Structure 1
Amino acid sequence: MFSPYYKASGRGDPIDHSCLNIALYGPNHRWVMTERPGADVSRDARNLRIGPSGMRWDGDVLEIDIAERDTRLFNPFHRPVRGKVRVMPEALNAQSFALDPREDHVWQCMAPRARIEVKMDEPGVSWSGNAYFDHNRGREPLESGFRAWHWSRAHMRRGAVVCYEGERGDGSVFASAIRFDRNAVPDEIDLPAIASLPRSRWQVERRTRSEIGVAKVRRTWEDTPFYARSELSSKLLGEEVVAVQESLDMRRFASPVVQFMLPFRMPRRTA
């Protein structure tokens, strides 16, 4: 959905603009976002391959095999990024949520709670912990449907809470807070108070929801001219929580300057 090549093509065949995005943070940071043509993509109901990497459902476990190279800006060495990720949903949710009245943009939280095992050969790091698995789809470009959005997800002692809000392309706003129980059954709850956050270094506006209207940025993982991803501490439903939060400014994304910069962050392999 962020591909400059897909946009330039007139948005014909999305399969011809496929990639596996990997972001590793910390001392062994890596960034992978190599776009590949449709000839390098194969898929069926339980398998998806994009170039040398792929993912498959093995029973109830999603296995992701990574065989890529670092595409981070200003890194001339393109270091190998190889390993395996296993995502184990605690339960699956089949319900989707429309983000606009015409249902041009739909979000589905497939696994609000999951466990993850990461074993990377290059760089040599591994860990396990909490995970989350969702999906977005749409019938029009994101920059046509939205000006900005803010999203966050927090694991709770029982279930998870997802907050989603933003401004649509026509200027209308939307906001919701959804609690998922341990069986992934969704229930819309009253919106907590808005908790303003400091802008990112690129001055992207950030916002979240918190029971006391106050939240703190613990770490900023991704900071780009139009997108920021952060780790927060806040309070939801009486619980002190650690949340993952993202903010997206689609007006900046659509600007000629950002469109010019994107290929440096997202190269395309033609064969």
Structure 2
Amino acid sequence: MIAFIGSVFSPWYRWSGRADPEDNICINVVTYGRGGRWAMTDRGRAALRQTGDSFTVGPSSLRWEGGRLIIALDEVSTPHAQRLRGRITVTPSAITDVEVPLTDDGAHVWRPFAPVADISVEIDRPGWTWDGHGYLDANFGTRALEADFDYWTWGRFPTPEGAVAFYDAVRRDGSTLGVALRFDRDGGCEAIGAPPLQRFRRSNWLVRRETRCDAGQAPRQVKAMLDAPFYNRCAVETVIDGHRTTGVYEALDLNRFRGPWLMPMLAVRVPRRKGWRFADA
């Protein structure tokens, strides 16, 4: 799931001229596998409430409580119009102070808050309750993604000590970004020598995919997740420092996203709900 202020993939936000991020807010929830559902409702300013430790968008919310992030969900999927209700609890092993500029002028910043975390998921549908390992990060920006980037990939992969994360991008000016970080369970972080970028099979929408993998090995998709004309998310198996690991990976083609032809397609999957009234308002 992703919580947005200024919903960067929303056609409504682009069509508004991106003048008011707080008038295009969203909590995007996606479940995978049989019966998987998608919810991404773009909401207006009336649906937003913020405090120092909570963020509420209409019927759903995120709040910090005793060192845990509690996410309460109450969304409607598109196009099935089914309710997605439940609770997700993210318990970080530590919170890092790492902040990575993605452009030289700091217009885009990546914050891996909790690269190592436990997660508990309780969704009110049979079989949709589980515990596992999780991850929490954030991206901040003062310009549109497609204004500064042509393409990027990101991946987070568990290791015996914690996790590694890779951020690779091609900027609009032709320069490249290559970030490779190792995190331990206490929040420690160190830059590492990244293994080579290696391509693997394109997505069903033919989005190019490549990730870091030890020389002589080959990355591969082991679970399909989200496939769109400009974006792909999947579980990828790779080998890092001799350790075989499976993590979440994404590839984003901003050249495709830049095209105006895509926005009407996205509007079908991202409904707009401008108004909202809180029960105590």
TM-score (norm 2): 0.93
Q: Take 1:53 and 1:119, find their aligned partners in 2: how far apart are those partners?
A: 14
The residue that corresponds to 2:33 in the other structure is 26
Task: For 2:261, give the aligned amino acid.
Answer: V
In the TM superposition, what are the counterparts of 1:68-79 in structure 2 within 5 Å?
68-72=75-79, 75=80, 78-79=81-82
The residue that corresponds to 1:253 in the other structure is 257
- 1:208 is paired with a residue whose SS is strand
* Farther-moved stretch of structure 1 (182-191 vs 119-128): 119-128
Q: Is the 8 A contact 2:115 2:163 kept in 1?
A: yes
Task: For 1:120, give the aligned amino acid.
Answer: I
Q: Pick one of 143, 152, 156 that aligns with 2:155.
A: 152
Note the C-alpha offset of 1:123: 5.9
The residue that corresponds to 2:279 in the other structure is none
Q: Take 1:6 and 1:215, find their aligned partners in 2: how far apart are those partners?
A: 35
The residue that corresponds to 1:137 in the other structure is 140
The residue that corresponds to 2:83 in the other structure is 80
The residue that corresponds to 1:65 in the other structure is 72
The 4+ residue runs of structure 1 with deviation greater than 6 A are: none
* 1:208-245 CA-partner distances (Å, limit 9, x unpaired): 00113511111221110000001111111221111211
Task: For 1:17, give the aligned amino acid.
Answer: N
Q: Percent identity?
A: 37
Q: Is the 8 A contact 2:116 2:133 kept in 1?
A: yes
Q: Take 1:235 and 1:30, find their aligned partners in 2: how far apart are those partners?
A: 31
- 1:191 is paired with a residue whose SS is coil
The residue that corresponds to 2:238 in the other structure is 234
The residue that corresponds to 1:38 in the other structure is 45
* 1:107-130 CA-partner distances (Å, limit 9, x unpaired): 010000000000111465200101
Task: Indicate whether 1:225 and 2:229 are aligned.
Answer: yes
* 1:162-203 CA-partner distances (Å, limit 9, x unpaired): 011010011111112111112122111101011211110100
- 1:166 is paired with a residue whose SS is strand
Q: Is the 8 A contact 1:82 1:123 kept in 2?
A: no
CA RMSD of aligned residues (A): 1.1
Note the C-alpha offset of 1:59: 1.1
Task: For 2:42, give the aligned amino acid.
Answer: E
Task: For 2:37, give the aligned amino acid.
Answer: R
The unaligned stretches of length 5 or more in structure 1 are none
In the comparison of the two structures, how many residue pairs are matched?
A: 267
* 1:4-31 CA-partner distances (Å, limit 9, x unpaired): 1111111111111001000000113010
Task: For 2:200, give the aligned amino acid.
Answer: L
Q: Is the 8 A contact 2:116 2:184 kept in 1?
A: no
Task: Indicate whether 1:48 and 2:55 are aligned.
Answer: yes
In the TM superposition, what are the counterparts of 1:52-131 in structure 2 within 5 Å?
52-72=59-79, 75=80, 78-122=81-125, 125-131=128-134
- 2:255 is paired with a residue whose SS is helix
The residue that corresponds to 1:16 in the other structure is 23
Task: For 1:152, give the aligned amino acid.
Answer: G
Q: Pick one of 189, 194, 201 that aligns with 2:192.
A: 189
The unaligned stretches of length 5 or more in structure 2 are 1-7, 276-281
Task: For 1:38, give the aligned amino acid.
Answer: R
- 1:19 is paired with a residue whose SS is strand
Q: Take 2:97 and 2:109, find their aligned partners in 1: how far apart are those partners?
A: 13
* 1:56-97 CA-partner distances (Å, limit 9, x unpaired): 11110100111111114xx3xx01111110000011111200
